[in-house]
Amino acid sequence: LDVPEHPVIPIIHGDGIGKDVGPAAQKVLTAAAEAAGHDVEWMEVYAGESARQKYDENLPEETVEAIREHRVAIKGPLTTPVGAGFRSLNVALRQTLDLYANVRPTYYLDGVPSPMKAPEEMDMVTFRENTEDVYAGIEWEAGTDEAEQVRDFVEDEMDFDGVMHEGDIGLGLKPISEKGSKRLVREAIDYAIENDRDKVTLVHKGNIMKFTEGQFGDWGMEVADEEYPDDEVFAAPDSLWEEQDEVDIPEDAVMVEERLADAMLQWMQLRTDEFDVLAMPNLNGDYLSDAAGAQIGGLGIAPGANFGAGRCLAEPVHGSAPKRAGQDKANPTALILSGRLMFEYLGWEDAGKLVRDAVEDTIDSGTVTYDLARQREDAEEVSTTEYAEAVAE
């Protein structure tokens, strides 16, 4: 990214535990940037509850414009009130700014308790399509005229008579496009090439949803096959049904393969070291990255960032955890490590490395928040603020 010398970084602290972890992460990220000799100027912007209080709306134009203009931003979690009549604010932000790739690195940090036998084998990066699939929000509520019209159309005009049960029914669409699939897979492959990764696994449920998930796999393999030379990217033939051990893969080439999403959840645990970069449609990516995060310490640790249209919006995997809100207890690590991704996007690898090392040293020394403390007898439980101070120090 062509970064101005003194970038302005919009920050949304977020709802619920966002009020705890937002300022804590900001403190650590400021310390890391300054220690690495970079000037960081934060611009607090608002969304969700804080925006309703200040502007009487959920997602003010000022916030969207700030991220559009400054191109690099960070946000804490936003609550989606159940039944409030609007789609998720997170989904709205990603769609409005065309942040089409949600990227979540999952790696082990020393000292983090894990249920896995060999957690240090986990070093994966998931690329989740961010703008379509069932999360596009094209749904019709049960009992409405619209839902009945869609039902009639599907049954009468599209020849799906007898497939849907009688009575009230909720309906939704699952759009998966060539454009959406290919640009996501391209990002994953480019990432693998640039970061010396061996493999990109396309994860879908194409055996059942042939024309959506299956098509995602076909388009993804097309990108691998047609857009890169074979000695750089190798599209593994028939990888869904055949072991690839026998296949002759050019040395140093990134192999692109397919796996079914349900089986993938078990392979991820049984053969962790075999996976590298994963690319998948929206819903699979949501489930799978949470499950991967749980294997290396849970949601309090798991970072992420959204990319697209020359922008980066870093955000943790976790939500606003209302049960823990305002108690100065939540773990700010996920947001802090999301900031590391943002720094790397700015080209500040030095600040990013400081962030990772400081977090790892702090956790390894036994200074942890409640979520890790209850899994580690030798550790001391500290508050969000105390933990952030220790990391920043």
Q: Which among 65, 75, 129 has a CA at the least distance from the CA of 97?
A: 65
Q: How far is the CB of 85 from ligand NAD (least distance, A)?
A: 14
* Contacts with 225 (C-beta within 8 Å, 6 or more apart), sequence order: 235
300 near ligand NAD, rule: CB under 6 A: yes
> Is position 198 annotated as part of the catalytic site?
no
Q: Which among 75, 115, 112 has a CA at the least distance from the CA of 93?
A: 75
Rg over alpha carbons for the chain, rounded to the nearest Å, is: 22
384 annotated ligand-binding residue: no
Helix, coil or strand: residue 303: coil
Tokens coding 175: 């759009």
311 annotated ligand-binding residue: no
Cα separation, 277 vs 128, in Å, equals 11
Among 9, 11, 12, 21, binds ligand NAD (CB under 6 A): 21
284 annotated ligand-binding residue: no
320 annotated ligand-binding residue: no
212 annotated ligand-binding residue: no
Segment near ligand NAD (CB under 6 A); pick from 22-30, 61-69, 72-80, 134-142: 72-80
276 near ligand NAD, rule: CB under 6 A: no
Cα separation, 282 vs 302, in Å, equals 18
Binding mask 74-103 for ligand NAD (x = CB under 6 A): ---xxxx---------x-------------
Pick 206 or 298: Cβ nearer ligand NAD: 298
> Is position 286 annotated as part of the catalytic site?
yes
> Is position 107 annotated as part of the catalytic site?
no
371 near ligand NAD, rule: CB under 6 A: yes
Pick 147 or 302: Cβ nearer ligand NAD: 302
CA atoms in the 13 A half-sphere facing the CB of 229:
5
Q: What is the crossing angle of helices 261-270 and 282-295, to 10°? A: 20
Beta strand residue intervals within the chain, DSSP E? 8-12, 41-44, 72-75, 101-107, 123-129, 139-140, 171-172, 199-204, 233-235, 254-260, 277-280, 305-308, 311-314, 367-368, 380-381
331 annotated ligand-binding residue: yes
Catalytic one of 286, 329, 345, 387 = 286
Residues paired with residue 101 on neighbouring β-strands, in sequence order:
129, 307
Catalytic one of 199, 205, 276, 387 = 205
374 annotated ligand-binding residue: yes
Pick 220 or 316: Cβ nearer ligand NAD: 316
17 near ligand NAD, rule: CB under 6 A: yes
Q: How far is the CB of 79 from ligand NAD (least distance, A)?
A: 4
197 annotated ligand-binding residue: no
**Unique residue bearing structure tokens 């979690």:** 77
Cα separation, 182 vs 354, in Å, equals 34
Binding mask 318-347 for ligand NAD (x = CB under 6 A): xxxx-xx-----xx--x-------------
Cα separation, 345 vs 311, in Å, equals 9
Q: How far is the CB of 179 from ligand NAD (least distance, A)?
A: 24
Pick 74 or 334: Cβ nearer ligand NAD: 334
Catalytic one of 46, 135, 191, 387 = 135
Pick 207 or 375: Cβ nearer ligand NAD: 375
Q: Which among 342, 350, 316, 346 has a CA at the least distance from the CA of 331?
A: 316
> Is position 353 annotated as part of the catalytic site?
no
Q: For residue 243, how many other CB atoms are within 10 A of its CB?
A: 8
Q: How far is the CB of 377 from ligand NAD (least distance, A)?
A: 18
Cα separation, 15 vs 50, in Å, equals 7
Q: How far is the CB of 161 from ligand NAD (least distance, A)?
A: 36
Pick 17 or 74: Cβ nearer ligand NAD: 17
End-to-end CA distance of the chain: give it in Å, rounded: 29
- Residue numbers belonging to the annotated binding site for D-threo-isocitrate: 88, 90, 94, 104, 128
- Residue numbers belonging to the annotated binding site for NADP(+): 79, 331, 370, 374
Residues that bind ligand NAD (CB under 6 A): 17, 21, 77-80, 90, 299-300, 315, 318-321, 323-324, 330-331, 334, 371
Indicate which residues carry an active-site annotation: 135, 205, 262, 286
